[in-house]
Every structure is written in C-alpha cells, then in structure tokens.
Amino acid sequence: MSKRAVDMTFQAIYTLTDLRALLRETAPTHEFDATQKAQAERLLENLDRQVGSLKQEILK
Amino acid sequence: MKCGSGIEARQVDELFINIDPIQAGGRLTADAMKAVVAYGDGYSVCDNCRKPNRLDYISKPPIAEFHKDVAKWLNMDAVRTVPGARRGFQAVAHTYVKKGDPVLLTSLSHYTEFLAVEEAGGVAREIPVGDDKLVTSDAAAEKIEAVKKEFGRAPVLAFIDHVDYQYGNMHDVAGIAKVAHQYDIPVAYNGAYTVGILPVDGKAMGVDFVVGSGHKSMAAPAPSGILAATAEREKEVFRTTAIVGDVTNRTFGIKEPEMMGCTLMGVTLVGMMASFPHVKERTKHFDRELANHTIVMDALLSIEGTKCLSEYPRKHTMTRINTIESFDKVAETHKKRGYYLSSALEEHGITGVIPGATKVWKFNTYGMTTKQAEHLAGAFVAIAKENGLSVKG
C-alpha cells in the first residue's frame, strides 16, 4: 500500500463531505440550482477519479 | 443506516431544516467535518507537542497561531480553549469567588453560570429584568448597591449574558460593565450566543473576560469553547502551577491549574480551528441572517394570535414565540393533540421544535439559506391554513 492510496482515501472522503455539505445547504428538497448542480457534477467527477486511482493503487 | 453497533447515523441536518434553538450555530462546516475525519484519534493533536508541553504552544497543527488569532479577533489579550463555555465560567468563578462571596448574575443567566458560582462557594445575586426582558445598567447599579447593603461589600464578580438563552434578547453589556467597574467588579461576558455568530469586541465592551461556545456558536464539535481575558486578568485566571510533590519533588512546568493542564485535544479543537476562517467571515454578514429571520418572523406573525415574546424587531436569530392563541388552539381538538405541529413540520421537512410544544417555544434560523427561510416561512403559513387559522395578508 502506498501514501498515494492513503491520500486518495482521504480525498474521496473529503469530496463526499463537500457533497454532504451541499445536501445540508439544500435540505429538505435537495433541489439544486444551476451553480449547485455544476458543483455536484464537479465533485462527482473528482470522486470517480479518486476512486479510480484507489482501485489502481489497491488492486494492482 | 448504522455508524456503529446500535448507533444510528445521524442525518438530521441533511434531511431537514433544523430550527432547534441551540443547534444552529454549532453545525459543522465542511472543513470541520474533514478535520474530524483526520483528527478523530484521542491524542491526535499531540504528535508534535514539544517543550514547554502545553496545548496552546503546539505549532503543528497551528494551535498556537489559532489561540493568537482568536484573541485578536475578539480584541482580547489571551485565549484558551475550554471544553464548553461552562468550563470557562468555572475557571473564572474559581479564580475570583471564595466561600460566601456575592456574585452578580442576571434573571436571564444560564444555569451553568449559577453552578460555577455554587461550586466556588459563592452566593448568586440576580439583576432583575424589566417587562421588556432586558437587563439594564441602571438595574445593575441598583442591584450592586443592594448587595453592598446585604453583604457589606460589592460582588466579587459579574457574569453578564450578551444574548440570553431564554429570549435571545441583546443586553447592554457595555453599560453594565461600566457600572460594574466603578465598583471594581470583574466582568465575564457570556458570548455563548454571540461569539462566532456576530461581531464581538471585548475591549470595546470593556469586559474582563469573553466566554464563547464552540459547539453552540463556532461550528465546532462538542464540548468546545473559548475563554479570553485581558492582559490584566490573564495573569490571574491563567496563572501557572506552583505545586511541588513532597516525595518526588516534582513540579509541573507551565501547566495552568484552572485549565487542568491541556484542555481540548483532538477533534474538538481541530474542528473549531478548521471552522474558524468561515466563522470569522460569517460574523461579518449577520445582517443576512437577520434578513432570513425576518422572513420567518413575518410569516409567523401573519398567523393571527401569534406573538413574539422576544424583543422586536429582532436583533438575534433565536426567538421565543407564543402560539397559545394560534397553534395551541388547534391542539385542543386535533387528534394528535399538541404533537400535530412538530408532526406537520416534519412533513414539510422541518425539525427542531420540541414535539408537543404548541404554547411557547423557541427556534433559530441561523445558517439557513434564503431559500430555506422561505420554505420554513411557507410551511408555518401552510400548516396554519390547513388547520383553519386566520392568516393576514
């Protein structure tokens, strides 16, 4: 296991934390405006990348 | 969903608008949540603790810098972190109050101030409030004179809440501090509902101590808080240990007895530190919070029979409301009795009102977006209309 795997684990948790904050900000309907939607898309793309890196590191 | 054996994952603030009066200002920022993940282990902030081995000297993470920044932000000279505002009251009371000493509080003081006085052996004397539920400097002067007559001396300490927990009213701390100082009474400012919520300037108010609550108003995990002091008082409340063991001859460096050595370790402190830049910024925009609160107040007061028991117009986002002539009338005949209101609010995605409360209750809108404030306002009006109450406008 590598430092990179540890970093990616934290990064993914932090990305999910930012998504959690977005859910709080939009409770209870969770209807996102255009800015929030763009932010969510960016976060989910980051998460995909982070999980992808994790798979490479852990499953290699 | 469970986060441990038998422990349900708490998702209150993700699923609802939470108007619990004491929870609003303590909700974590995203950065604090991240800090919680990284620093959850018990002694996590102690990895780089070096001589003189005291929490507020640690530079990695930047705890020493945080202490200086908080002192500057509050315009005070020294700060320590404490496990909740109550531990700040306790440290101050224990420093100044001896058995039988009179201590000045107010009729709206928080119970933990009373307990701090009691533990130190002091005697509580309250400044009464008027019909407007405000503590004034004139009332403080009268009470000090009354205490002098009763005890033959002035109170040894005063605890004054800037915004009280019962009404969320804002009291004239500067005026009261000025009066207290004429009698050489040190003043401890209770900022549990202000520090981290709105701008606080300790020196401008002329107080000796500022006490704040991390978990109530600084977006920090519980239990956390701060105790700030002026340079004059710092030497007294933050005095260092002098004790020596008679067998081992041990001494304990620069540990501070009132702090019981180090105070906040790990997640509470780092959570408070991570939120601090956001907290500093948000206090500059308290006007936005009041604007959101007004949206909700206007809606509530449009419901016939509803009264605001707090000072009005509001100066704070926590408010005590009387709905005896509105929502409580419905409870008399509703099949769910008083529980219908919290139940109906929940259906609208709102939580935080005590289940069963329909007479007198408190709520807090701090930290809401305008959209959420509008949603909350709309929900109150909709519930009123659904239950046959008259709504103005």
Q: For residues B109-126, give the mean pLDDT.
A: 98
What confidence tens digit (pLDDT) does each residue in B283-325 have?
999 999 999 999 999 999 999 999 999 999 999 999 999 999 9
Q: Which two tokens stand for residue B10?
A: 């708490």
Residues B154 and B131 in one domain: yes
Task: Please count the residue pairs, one from chain A and one from chain B, whose beta carbons lie less than 8 angstroms apart.
Answer: 40
Contact B15 A20 (CB under 8 A): no
Q: Regarding beta strands B157-161 and B187-190, do their DSSP bridges make them parallel or antiparallel, or are they unpaired?
A: parallel
Q: How far apart are CA B365 and CA B297, in angstroms?
A: 10
Which of B193, B144, B153 has its CA nearest to residue B171?
Answer: B193
Q: For residues B204-215, give the mean pLDDT.
A: 98
Instruction: Supply the mean pLDDT for chain B.
Output: 98
What confidence tens digit (pLDDT) does each residue in B4-19 have?
999 999 999 999 999 9
Q: Is residue B291 situated within a structural domain?
A: yes
> Using a CB-CB distance cutoff of 8 angstroms, which residues of chain A are in contact with residue B274?
none
Closest residue in B to A19 (Cα) is: B30
> Using a CB-CB distance cutoff of 8 angstroms, which residues of chain A are in contact with residue B36?
none
Q: For residues B248-272, give the mean pLDDT.
A: 96
Q: What is the pLDDT of residue B189?
A: 98
For the cut 70, the answer to whether the pLDDT of residue B361 exceeds it is: yes
For the cut 80, the answer to whether the pLDDT of residue A1 exceeds it is: no
For the cut 90, the answer to whether the pLDDT of residue B341 exceeds it is: yes
- Band the pLDDT of A53: cuts 50, 70, 90: very high
Range of the domain at B339: 2-24+286-386
pTM of full prediction above 0.90: yes
> Using a CB-CB distance cutoff of 8 angstroms, which residues of chain A are in contact with residue B38?
10
Count of beta carbons in the 10 Å neighbourhood of residue B359: 14
For the cut 80, the answer to whether the pLDDT of residue B218 exceeds it is: yes
Closest residue in B to A25 (Cα) is: B369
Distance from CA of A56 to the nearest CA of B (A): 23
Residues B12 and B140 in one domain: no
Domain at B374, CATH number: 3.90.1150.10
Domain at B139, CATH number: 3.40.640.10
Q: Is residue B31 situated within a structural domain?
A: no
Residues B71 and B112 in one domain: yes
Distance from CA of A43 to the nearest CA of B (A): 13
Q: How far apart are CA B287 and CA B269, in angstroms?
A: 28
- Band the pLDDT of A60: cuts 50, 70, 90: confident
- What is the percentage of chain A residues whose pLDDT exceeds 90? 95
Residues B260 and B121 in one domain: yes
Q: What is the pLDDT of residue B393?
A: 81
What confidence tens digit (pLDDT) does each residue in B273-293 have?
999 999 999 999 999 999 999
Closest residue in B to A11 (Cα) is: B34
Partner residue opposite A27 with nearest CB, options B34, B38, B349: B349
Enter the ipTM.
Answer: 0.97
Q: Is A3 on the interface with B (CB under 8 A)?
A: no
Strand partners for B226: B81, B212
